[in-house]
Amino acid sequence: MKKKIAIIFLLTIISLQIYNSFAVQRFPKPEFESGHTQPPTITPDPRSHALAVLDVFVLAAALTVVTWLVLKKRSRNGVFWMSVFAVLYFGFFREGCVCSVGSLQNVTLALFNPEYSIPITVTAFFVLPIVYTLFFGRTFCAGVCPLGTIQDIFALRPLPIKTWLEKVLGIIPFIYLGLAILYAATSTDFVICRYDPFIGFFRLDATFMMFAIGGIMLLIGVFIARPYCRFLCPYGALLNLVSRFSKKHLTITPTECIQCRLCENSCPFEAIDKPVLLKEKEERPIAVRRFLMYTIIIPVLILIGGFTGSQFHENLASANSKVRLANELINETNFGETEKEAFEITAFKASGQTKTELYTEAAKITKQFYYGGWMLGGFIGLVFGLTLVSLTIFRYKEDYTPNKGSCLSCARCVDYCPVLPENKIELNKSI
């Protein structure tokens, strides 16, 4: 009976309520006669801050060890085992976030968005590999980056690819870098994280699409070593530029190159520059004229790129959720939903923001994309121009040396060099 009265009572109250109003204390908390104690609300703690600091130390330690292995110990085996460690620790144990590659976007967001302040550990993840690269070459790529090392382990049957193809594909990371910065600066999206192909493996959980992309990437990686690092990674593009001016760098030979050509095909990334002999060199006036011509083209390319980029600013901006919402509202497209109102529009109505406010905000973001489009396009033009120019340059060199930009310091070539540190030749080394 009591129960029924209670039900009737509740139903009457419910019928009087205004629906959708949230968190209203409609029914007071009861006083229990039976002495029942109320359980506490369970709120599990997040991963502790100390562990995040520990990660930074592990990163620094791993960088130091790999650098030592590459430059001093000259041990490919050592680098390989560090790669395995990186995949296990930074990949599977830490489940991928935050990584140095993604931290690029946090830094950009912190620089452009006044509301976001960046955790010091994330800054450290961004800065440490660059500092090491500035002094020792891309040792981060060699054995610390989980995305790179997982591909490195899969690089089983590397095949050479054509130089022109490599040069063309080599431009993609810079475009990706520009896009990632544009989207992070406008607080739109973290594209690098969103399209990270290997994070699904590290977490053993991802959408089918991302698993497929990651799987294909690893499969390609068996034949074309490290495809993500060479032809996509935006942080790699940054390190590529920095590494060109590194103080020290991996050398193929410990002392002097004897031009035995044993290392010639050892690099799976084709980052070994072969000797360029004097007789191959063109006559100077011709070379200079062509060089100057290409140099004059660069500003033109920048302008063309910038203009093209700015023409696409609306397309670029449509990835921003606010701009998208404004577009959908103006065009009354309802996010392609036909049956009911889209969640976004319901939520917008509930938020109490007026349409005018939203449109002003969207217009402001679109304007940012206009300038961003100019800069992105100009940057892409610059990259194209410089790539062209670099193709015209001959640099006389006698020895086999790693290309400081594209060399990932994996130390594979080191094993092929028969020269011993004491300037002797190791004769009975079997390769």
**Among residue numbers 44 through 73, which ones bind other proteins (CB under 8 A)?**
44-47, 49, 52
- Establish if 350 lies at the interface with other proteins (CB under 8 A): yes
- Do 405 and 230 meet the contact criterion of CB atoms below 8 Å apart? no
**6 is a site residue for other proteins (CB under 8 A):** yes
205 φ, ψ to 5°? Answer: -165, 120
The yes or no reply on residue 344 touching other proteins (CB under 8 A) is yes
Q: With contacts defined by CB under 8 A, how many residues of the chain interact with other proteins?
A: 96
Task: Establish if 258 lies at the interface with other proteins (CB under 8 A).
Answer: no
- Using CB under 8 A, pick the residue from 32, 280, 338, 339 that binds other proteins: 32
Q: Which amino acid makes up residue 79? A: V
Point out which span in 13-21, 161-169, 174-182, 357-365 binds other proteins (CB under 8 A). 13-21
Find residue 425's DSSP bridge partners.
419
347 forms part of the interface with other proteins (CB under 8 A): yes
Q: How far is the CB of 343 from other proteins (least distance, A)?
A: 4
Output the smallest distance, CB 309 to other proteins, in A: 21
Smaller CB separation from other proteins, 61 or 350: 350
Shortest distance, CB of residue 256 to other proteins, whole angstroms?
12
Structure tokens belonging to residue 135: 């002094």
Residue 288 touches other proteins, criterion: CB under 8 A: yes
Give the distance, in angstroms, between the CA of residue 168 and the centroid of all CA atoms in the same chain: 19
Cα separation, 376 vs 275, in Å, equals 36
The yes or no reply on residue 370 touching other proteins (CB under 8 A) is: no
Residue 430 is a binding residue for other proteins (CB under 8 A): no
Site for other proteins in 299-338 (CB under 8 A): 321
Handedness of CA 23, 27, 28, 30 (dihedral sign): negative
Q: What SS3 state is found at 422?
A: coil
Q: Which of residues 132-191 bind other proteins (CB under 8 A)?
A: 134, 189-190
25 touching other proteins, by CB under 8 A: yes
Q: Which of residues 186-225 bind other proteins (CB under 8 A)?
A: 189-190, 193-194, 199, 203, 205-206
Binding mask 223-252 for other proteins (x = CB under 8 A): -------------------x-xxxx-----
For residues 61 and 90, what is the distance between their CA atoms, to the nearest angstrom?
A: 13
70, burial (CB in 10 Å: exposed 0-12, middle 13-18, buried 19+): buried
Binds other proteins by CB under 8 A, chosen from 38, 338, 356, 428: 38
**Residue 293, interface with other proteins (CB under 8 A)?**
no
Q: Which stretch binds other proteins (CB under 8 A): 20-28, 56-64, 358-366, 418-426?
A: 20-28
Q: What is the DSSP string of 154-170?
A: H--S-----HHHHHHHT
Give start and end residues of each alpha helix (H) in 161-283: 163-169, 172-185, 191-194, 199-203, 208-223, 227-231, 234-243
| Distance from the Cα of residue 392 to its chain's centroid | 30
Which candidate, 386, 370, 242, places its Cα nearest to that of 308?
A: 370
